[in-house]
Every structure is written in C-alpha cells, then in structure tokens.
Chains A and B, each alone.
Chain A
C-alpha cells in the first residue's frame, strides 16, 4: 500500500504482470475513488464549461456521454486532463486527484462570474471495470449495465443513483461506474465473484502506457502545450465564436516552429526505459528529447516509452541509460488497443 495524495492505494495485489494480463485477456476491476468528481449545475453551466476546457461539450448530444479534454491556463499549458460528461442538470467533470487543489482554486475563481454551482462529490465512489470480459462480469449487478452492447465508446447511462459510462484508462473494452459510496463495496464484491481481478496502481500504469494514454505530471503539466503531449486532437476549434481559457496562446503556439512532439519508442534491448532518461536523435550528439513515461510492456515483452522529441525525420533514437546509449525505434504514441498491437513504426 502507498499513500497516494492522501489515499491508501495498493501498488499491486499480487504480480503486477499477471494483473496486466488479466485486463488484456479477461477482466480487471480498479478502485479509482481517489479521482475528483465535480458536478456543475446552474443556468450557465454549459456556458461556463465551454469556456473552462479546450474541448467543446457542445459535441455531447446525449446525456451521460463524455469527452476527453485538457483544461488550460492562460499560457495555453495543461493544468489538468479530464473527462467531461453531460448530465441531466449540467456537467460532471472527473479530474485528477494529484491536481485537485490547483484545479479547485482555478475553477472556483473563474466560476464566480457565471450562474454556476460547483459541487465536489465526495459522497461518490468510482470503480473501473476493464477488459474483454467486462460485460459479463456485471450481468448480475442490480442495474441494467447491459447497455454496453448497444452503447458506443464514451456513452453512458444513469439509473438508480448509478452512473456508468463506456470509458477507461486501459485501451480495452470496459466502463467506469460512479456510484454512492455505500453501494461501491457491493459492486466490487459482485464483480470479483464473477471473475474480475483486482488491479493495483502498477498495472494501471503499464496498461495506460501501452494504450498511449497520458498521465498528468509525466506527459504533461502546467508548462507543457497540448500540442506537445499528443492532446492537440482534443482541442475543439469547430465553433470559432467560442472562447476558452488558453485559446489565444494556443493560436500563437500553432504558429511556432519549435514545438516538440510526443512519440512512442520501443527497443529490443534488455533495459527499461524510464521517465527522465535523455533521448538523442540519430544525427545529434546533444540530447534534446526526454522519456516522459517508460516501462516494460507485459503485452509486447519489450521496453516501451512515451518520449517528447524535437520534430524530425529520424526513425530511430538513442536513450541514455546508465551512461550507455540504447537504440530505440520511433513510432506512434500508442502501442496496444483491445489486446492488439497498434504501434506504427516511423518509416
């Protein structure tokens, strides 16, 4: 167990590699109640959330569906990443636990000018159920979570105080359930009795890294542009009348030539790529890149990493590991989706 920003959380329940495979091949269950859940209600909740985050919740045509977004500061750097869901009375934002304090400060200072009420939902727990077998695990749960068959990714339901959406942090089929604290243990026990395996923080990290999903404080922080952490696609420019925090700075960033990019790297060497290792491009002697997150991929049985590099034509690079240079291939910043290899090597 480890103290994770005030929450006691397990790093692993047994072997973290076995937990990883359980999610890729069967079903795993994660207690993610440390995540901060914020509800926004009031006549101007939509107006406010459209200003607050860089993606546009106007895209959410159905209730209980969600989208991934960055929340930017005035310099156009990432304060946090989050999922925003459309709810009956407004919006629900699920933000990171590590950034909770800064987020609340930033948001409440800006909410004052709007008719909007922010409610932190400490009465709710959050459980993620992920993996190809996840639909069958909850077949006996007393809510029609059978919805998975009909719903698309990012869509959800809300019934009997239980909110569930087809979202996750693993790249597998699965869903996240937000429910009253007193119901969470029942959900957990039913899922376990149906074969779900409990998953700790360590496997959560290898799963999200294989899926190419960012971790705040690693791929991005309040000094990193969304364009440099593979979040450019989450910035919505459709409605040019819409203003959002950081927009002006983002427009300037787009014109600049020295933006780096987040890539995936992979090597056959017997080493482990880890956060902070320096990266040299083929033709250069000085390191201009850095590993943002690295690990051993249990699915590929190889070291993989996300790395921020200067844009270049290079198809390979060198990671500096304990004084040695280790050659790695450069490719897409994602490796595995639904159990299959999706990493594309740069050619």
Chain B
C-alpha cells in the first residue's frame, strides 16, 4: 500500500486514502482507536457489497463500546482486511497502515476532495 497518498477523514473518525486506480482504502483514525481502547472484534462488509457515502459499513467492538464504521465515499467493496478478524489488536497498534478495514472502488473521485483534510479533522477532535 502506498502511504504517500493523501489521507482524508470523516468527522465520525474514519479515514480514506485514494490511489491512482480510484481505489479507496478505509480505516479508523488514531484518535478513534484511542477513544475505543482495546478492540476485540470487528465485523467487515463482504467483497462485492455496495457501500454508500457515510453509510454503515463495518462494526468495531472494543471492551468499552461497540461502534459503527461509516464509509467515507460510495463504492463497491473490492478487498477486506481479513487479518483483522483474528487479530483485531492490529487496529490499535497501526490504525492508519496495517489496521485498514476494506477497500472500495469509488464511483466518483471528485468527492474525495470534499472529505476533511487531516488538519480539519484534527480540529473537530479538539472540540
């Protein structure tokens, strides 16, 4: 995965990173994993599922709380990170890299620019 591409956020703590082929990798933010604490289970979408922008896409369950994960953009799931099913702690240890949830082929990459920049997202976390 190329980590150099820009990462954008939803205020509900998901991030998306777009590559040249219009594939968006999605995960949850460092701040979100910190709020959740130890993550013990994750429910991922199936490959082929159509996800909607800001629609429910996954569930992450920590000892503390269950939390819905929303897809930043609309698109079809092309890959899921199955490693998380057995080792959900990867999300705590590496939320922005190894702890990615799924990848979607997005319909319209222009919408990516509407997502929050890292700076804008960080500002929402401080409120």
In the complex, the answer to whether A296 meets B40 with C-beta atoms within 8 Å is yes
Contacts between the two chains (Cβ within 8 Å), count: 35
Q: Of B37, B41, B63, B92, which contacts A270 at CB under 8 A?
A: B41
Interface residues as binary, A255-272 with B (CB distance below 8 Å gives 1, 0 otherwise) = 000000000000000111
In the complex, the answer to whether B37 meets A202 with C-beta atoms within 8 Å is yes
A270 / chain B contacts, CB cutoff of 8 Å: 41, 43, 61, 85
In the complex, the answer to whether A272 meets B40 with C-beta atoms within 8 Å is yes
Task: Please report the C-alpha to C-alpha distance between residue A295 and residue B64 in the assembled complex, in whole angstroms.
Answer: 8
Which residues of B66-96 have CB atoms within 8 Å of chain A's CB atoms? 66, 85, 92
Interface residues as binary, B17-54 with A (CB distance below 8 Å gives 1, 0 otherwise) = 00000000000000000000110110100000000000
Find the B residue at minimum CB distance from A321: B66
Task: Please report the C-alpha to C-alpha distance between residue A12 and residue B92 in the assembled complex, in whole angstroms.
Answer: 15
In the complex, the answer to whether B63 meets A206 with C-beta atoms within 8 Å is yes
Main secondary structure of the interface of A (DSSP, over half): loop
Which residues of A269-324 have CB atoms within 8 Å of chain B's CB atoms? 270-272, 274, 295-296, 298, 322
A296 / chain B contacts, CB cutoff of 8 Å: 40-41, 61, 63
In the complex, the answer to whether B38 meets A15 with C-beta atoms within 8 Å is yes
B85 / chain A contacts, CB cutoff of 8 Å: 270
With A202-B37, A270-B43: A17-B61 Cβ-Cβ less than 8 Å = no
Q: Of B37, B41, B92, which contacts A272 at CB under 8 A?
A: B41
B41 / chain A contacts, CB cutoff of 8 Å: 270-272, 296
Which residues of A49-99 have CB atoms within 8 Å of chain B's CB atoms? none
Confirm or deny: A155 has a beta carbon within 8 angstroms of a beta carbon on chain B.
no
Interface residues as binary, A10-23 with B (CB distance below 8 Å gives 1, 0 otherwise) = 01100111000000
Task: Please report the C-alpha to C-alpha distance between residue A228 and residue B43 in the assembled complex, in whole angstroms.
Answer: 35
Main secondary structure of the interface of B (DSSP, over half): mixed
A295 / chain B contacts, CB cutoff of 8 Å: 63
Q: Which of B37, B40, B63, B64 has the most CB of A within 10 A?
A: B63
Q: Which of A15, A16, A17 has the most CB of B within 10 A?
A: A17
A206 / chain B contacts, CB cutoff of 8 Å: 63
A178 vs chain B, min Cβ distance (A): 30
Task: Please report the C-alpha to C-alpha distance between residue A17 and residue B39 in the assembled complex, in whole angstroms.
Answer: 10
A319 vs chain B, min Cβ distance (A): 13
Task: Please report the C-alpha to C-alpha distance between residue A11 and residue B36 in the assembled complex, in whole angstroms.
Answer: 12
Task: Please report the C-alpha to C-alpha distance between residue A298 and residue B64 in the assembled complex, in whole angstroms.
Answer: 13
A322 / chain B contacts, CB cutoff of 8 Å: 66
B94 vs chain A, min Cβ distance (A): 14
In the complex, the answer to whether A272 meets B38 with C-beta atoms within 8 Å is no
A298 / chain B contacts, CB cutoff of 8 Å: 63
Task: Please report the C-alpha to C-alpha distance between residue A16 and residue B38 in the assembled complex, in whole angstroms.
Answer: 7
A192 vs chain B, min Cβ distance (A): 22
Which residues of A183-206 have CB atoms within 8 Å of chain B's CB atoms? 202, 206
Q: Of B37, B43, B61, B66, which contacts A12 at CB under 8 A?
A: B37
Task: Please report the C-alpha to C-alpha distance between residue A206 and residue B63 in the assembled complex, in whole angstroms.
Answer: 9
B57 vs chain A, min Cβ distance (A): 15
A340 vs chain B, min Cβ distance (A): 22
B43 vs chain A, min Cβ distance (A): 7
Task: Please report the C-alpha to C-alpha distance between residue A296 and residue B85 in the assembled complex, in whole angstroms.
Answer: 15
In the complex, the answer to whether B43 meets A17 with C-beta atoms within 8 Å is no
Task: Please report the C-alpha to C-alpha distance between residue A29 and residue B92 in the assembled complex, in whole angstroms.
Answer: 24
14 A-B pairs whose Cβ atoms sit less than 8 Å apart in the complex: A11-B64, A15-B37, A15-B38, A16-B63, A17-B63, A202-B64, A270-B41, A270-B85, A271-B41, A272-B61, A296-B41, A296-B61, A298-B63, A322-B66
10 further A-B contacts with Cβ under 8 Å, apart from A16-B64, A202-B63, A272-B66, are A11-B64, A15-B37, A16-B38, A202-B37, A206-B63, A270-B41, A270-B43, A272-B41, A296-B63, A322-B66
